[in-house]
Chain A
Amino acid sequence: MTRRLFNPLLVVAAGMFAAAPILVALAPNEVTMGLVAKIVYFHVPVWFMMFLGVFICGIASGVYLFKDKQSADRLAVSAAELAVLFGLMGLTTGPLWARVSWGLWWPWDVRTTLALILELNFVAYLLLRKYGGPGSEKLAAGLALFGMFNVPFVYVSVNVWRTLHPETTVVPTLPGPMAGPFWWCVIAYLALFLVMLSGRRRLEEQRAIVDRLRLAHER
């Protein structure tokens, strides 16, 4: 994303993000779960963004592994950090919803367990990048590919196995008054994700320049 798009996108993201609570407040309550079901307007979009971060990290890691492109590696580490951030948002909003709806904080069912494992996978990626030493970039890239291939299992788990978690048919069948705020929040989170990714990637580029200058100085 070019620098020219960054500022307009930041304004759009901030505006949409600020308007989201108003739209959510005006949306009707869900029939069986009541007020607490409004967590869906944040909980589901953050998991969409987590999956997006995982896919970007995985694909960029693949490009880095097979084509040795440093720019792909910088994109991968940026996306991994965002995947962990949005995953953390999902893993905190989910139990808050579950406590009221299901009566327990964490059910250890298939969906929640696989989602936790996916999050830990990318926490491991970041730890490997930070503390793994020389050559850890390639190792971490392999880990990112493994994480990316887990996403379909996380997504379809609710349809294949018996679980407390709602199935994937819920979002496509949301009624109009709920679908509008929901998709608004998805687009707001997408704009926020792109702004964060752009900023984080720029940070990696600056760090790469600092490293090159340090090497030139040492010579």
Chain B
Amino acid sequence: MKAHRRQPLYLAFLLHRLSGLGLALFLPFHFYLLGLSLESDAAFERALHWTAGPLFKVAEFGLVFLLALHFFGGLRLLALENLAWSDRQKNYAAAAVALSFLLACGFLLRAF
């Protein structure tokens, strides 16, 4: 394994990249579902009903988690690049994951 890949910040980079990839792949489905309401309200309602099962709830939790992870990871990047912060990078990375998890759990508690 390359030396830089053992750094905790490589994990932060990887999480940011994979969460971004997951979100990008999910978006076409998201837009398709919303676009259904253009065809008819009933089709949209059916699709929403279909997504009300527990499996979808867990998947939605995952998506909220990905979005929150990518959001806080992105804030971390913007802060590192634009503000003259040099230390404590690992703390920001950890805080990004913790806040994402908190937000996603909040969503999950509401969803069930």
Query: Are A and B associated in one complex?
Result: no
A contact residues vs B (CB 8 Å cutoff) = none
B contact residues vs A (CB 8 Å cutoff) = none
